[in-house]
Amino acid sequence: MARERSALATALNLLDDKRPEARACAGRLLANLPEDKVYHSGHLIGLTGPPGVGKSSLISALVERWRDQRRTVGILAVDPSSPVSGGALLGDRLRMLSSSTDGGVFIRSLACRGEVGGLSAETWPMSLVMLAASDIVLVETVGVGQKEIDVSKLTDTTCFIAQPASGDTIQFLKAGIMEVPHVLIVNKQDVGLAARKTLTELQASLGRNTHNGDWAVPVLSASATQGTGVAEIVEAVESHRQWLLREGALCSRRRSFQAQWIVKRLREDFGRFGIEALGGERRLMEDLITQGGSPFEHYDRLRDDLVARWS
Ligand SMILES: Nc1nc2c(ncn2[C@@H]2O[C@H](COP(=O)(O)OP(=O)(O)OP(=O)(O)O)[C@@H](O)[C@H]2O)c(=O)[nH]1
Ligand SMILES: [Mg+2]
């Protein structure tokens, strides 16, 4: 929480370690995360979109703004383990930001383990550890369609970045294949006509009053390389956070992600039989969402409960 880089790196490595002793240790670490950080403070933001749309470039432009506001940032980026795109994934500017002496930015790449959206089960606890040390946590994932929007099940605010002159996104959104993100952005505004056309198409096909629940979704355009439209994105994501806070939804969303994570973990460890033994998924979710206390202790408690029954 004091943003000691080596401590943060060690904590994240621990969460990624599958050995039983490491898992037990990770459990204790997570159980000690303050409830306030886990449920009430900071901002978890997901950025998703097709390969090469400029997600990393936009992130670095956004990070510069946030650093000007003295806000600390943690970045989790899913590196698709493709040998083609190689190591250039995080983007040069982002690399520079992280390696610079500025201790306000911390970057960690996530290996893609073939789970949908490139997100692994560890992404959620890793986001929380990052959140304990930063004001803002960004999660970058790649994809087109339903899969990558999975990031919306881990973050407070989801931004979708669309590519100029690509009808895919619009088709997906129209067909309801893709959940509507909280902020839509057409990047590469500087290419001119194609970007303007895509922006108009997005606005038109979604209608003027696009909503995600009661939230009116802003449709923005930006150029990560020229830095235009970036301030508007910062504003839009902050407005969404304020809206979540007013609705009391920041805490309830995180509680629900947390409950989903625990149930998923338990199912992986004990199967459907284990879930049934604990009263079934619905009851388990309801209990978890309403219970106070450290979120990860609940996992330990439920696991111990199951282990005790069969030992
Ligand atoms: N013209 C223009 N090019 C851009 C813009 N933003 C990014 N690019 C370029 O697009 C390419 C991909 O940028 P990245 O930021 O790596 O895109 P990404 O979405 O993170 O890519 P992956 O992580 O590989 O999916 C780079 O060559 C960038 O220089 C922009 O606003 N305008
Ligand atoms: Mg990238």
Predicted confidence (pLDDT) per residue in 77-125, tens digit: 876 544 444 444 555 556 666 556 577 888 887 765 555 445 677 888 9
Q: Judge whether 173 and 180 are in contact, CB under 8 Å.
A: yes
**Of 53, 55, 57, best ligand 1 pocket probe by most atoms within 8 Å of the beta carbon:** 57
Specify the pLDDT at position 65. Answer: 93
Nearest to 151 by CA among 115, 187, 188: 115
Give the closest residue (by CA) to ligand 1 atom 11. 52
Cα–Cα distance measured from residue 275 to residue 227, given in angstroms and rounded to the nearest whole number: 49
What is the side-by-side order of every strand in the sheet holding 219-221? 105-111, 73-79, 136-142, 43-49, 157-162, 183-186, 219-221
pLDDT tens per residue, range 285-311: 988 888 766 667 788 888 888 889 877
Cα–Cα distance measured from residue 260 to residue 19, given in angstroms and rounded to the nearest whole number: 23
pLDDT over 80 at 262, yes or no = yes
The model's pTM is: 0.89
Tell how far the Cα of 56 is from the centroid of ligand 1, in angstroms. 7
Encoding tokens for residue 263? 């149930």
What is the position in ligand 1's atom list of the atom closest to the CA of 191?
Answer: 1
Average pLDDT value for residue range 123-147:
85
Average pLDDT value for residue range 28-55:
89
Specify the pLDDT at position 2. Answer: 86
Q: Which of the four pLDDT bands, split at 50, 70 and 90, describes residue 185?
A: very high
Among all bound ligands, the one having the nearest atom to the CA of 187 is: 1
Q: Judge whether 217 and 196 are in contact, CB under 8 Å.
A: no
Encoding tokens for residue 229? 């439209």
Nearest to 46 by CA among 152, 148, 165: 152
pLDDT over 50 at 247, yes or no = yes
Tell me which of 118 and 56 has the higher pLDDT. 56
Q: Judge whether 119 and 150 are in contact, CB under 8 Å.
A: yes
What is the position in ligand 1's atom list of the atom closest to the CA of 79?
Answer: 23
Specify the pLDDT at position 209. Answer: 61
Tell how far the Cα of 175 is from the centroid of ligand 1, in angstroms. 27
Q: Judge whether 134 and 73 are in contact, CB under 8 Å.
A: yes
Average pLDDT value for residue range 67-72:
92
Give the closest residue (by CA) to ligand 1 atom 13. 54
Tell how far the Cα of 194 is from the centroid of ligand 2, in angstroms. 22
Which residue's entry shows tokens 């097709």?
A: 50
Tell me which of 94 and 45 has the higher pLDDT. 45
pLDDT tens per residue, range 3-37: 888 999 999 999 888 888 888 888 888 888 888 88
Average pLDDT value for residue range 176-204:
87
**Nearest-10 Cα torsion for 87, 93, 95, 100:** 160
Specify the pLDDT at position 128. Answer: 93
Cα–Cα distance measured from residue 200 to residue 289, given in angstroms and rounded to the nearest whole number: 40
Interaxial angle between packed helices 123-133 and 5-16, expressed in degrees from 0 to 180 and rounded to the nearest 10 = 170
Tell how far the Cα of 256 is from the centroid of ligand 1, in angstroms. 33
Tell how far the Cα of 74 is from the centroid of ligand 2, in angstroms. 15
Lining residues, ligand 1, CB within 6 Å: 51-57, 85, 89, 91, 142, 187-188, 190-191, 223-225
Give the closest residue (by CA) to ligand 1 atom 30. 188
Specify the pLDDT at position 38. Answer: 87
Give the closest residue (by CA) to ligand 1 atom 6. 54
Tell how far the Cα of 212 is from the centroid of ligand 1, in angstroms. 27
Tell how far the Cα of 57 is from the centroid of ligand 2, in angstroms. 7
Average pLDDT value for residue range 126-155:
82
Cα–Cα distance measured from residue 220 to residue 217, given in angstroms and rounded to the nearest whole number: 10
Among all bound ligands, the one having the nearest atom to the CA of 190 is: 1
What is the position in ligand 1's atom list of the atom closest to the CA of 60?
Answer: 15
- Which range, 43-57, 161-175, 203-217, is most confident? 43-57
